[in-house]
Amino acid sequence: MTAPASPMPKSRSRLLIPTLSAAVMLALLVALGVWQMRRLAWKEGILAAIASAEAAAPVPLPAAPTPFEKIVVHGRYLPVIALYGAEVRETMHGPAMGGQLLQVLVPEAGPPILVARGWVPDGALAAFAEAAPKVVVTGFIRSPVRPGWFTPRDDPGRLRFYTLDPARIGAALGLKSVAPFTLMAMGPLPQGGVPAPAESLPRPPNNHLSYALTWFGLAIVLVVIYGLWLRRNWRR
């Protein structure tokens, strides 16, 4: 008659739950690291497409523009201006408070477009309050944004805005309709230094490699800690 199998020693059974927990956590950390590596490849593809668009000639304004393409619009500026945001920059006369110069571009076709021409000091705003002849504006599209908890209130009376909402700004400027986006002007710095337009297309942050290394690093730490714990508790 064979003897019954001896039950697992209590010291060994106490290791089961911690071991299973460590295995689940390890699988989760490795999965997160692999997911971030896939996100890295996806983001690098987006950045490569942006770099290609930036190097290429601008395209005419499409029906559904995206923020990561360089476009060109022909039209004329209306003699209305406003400021967006508040930012201190260094000028030849020292630090100065200013913001993004907003003007309304009437294109050859379609509704008026709100254009952010670049940073100007507060005192230089009046110099741009004149109608302009036909211009060609190159830039990229920025979608409307909503105010956050700490966003200052817009001041329509002084034509200073802190939320880039084309519909609200257009209404304050007396427009019945306006395109549902803002055209952020790009180009070299003009002779007078203002307005200072954007120099490149916007690029989304790409931190996925550091995130992946963090998850894989935590997985290695978990294995080391578990190994040390198991060695100390194996013979108890």
Helices 16-55 and 208-233 pack at an angle, to 10 degrees, of: 170
d(CA 5, CA 11): 17
- pTM for the complete prediction? 0.75
pLDDT by position in tens, the chain (length 236):
455 555 555 556 677 888 899 999 999 999 999 999 999 999 999 999 888 888 888 989 888 888 888 999 999 988 888 899 888 887 777 788 888 999 999 998 889 999 999 888 887 777 776 666 788 999 998 888 888 888 888 888 888 999 999 999 999 888 888 999 999 999 888 777 778 888 888 888 999 999 999 999 999 999 999 988 888 877 66
d(CA 233, CA 167): 67
Strands 113-121 and 94-107, by their bridges, are antiparallel
Query: Would you list the domain boundaries of the chain?
Result: 12-60+203-236, 71-185
Contacts of 132 (CB under 8 A, 6+ apart): 76, 77
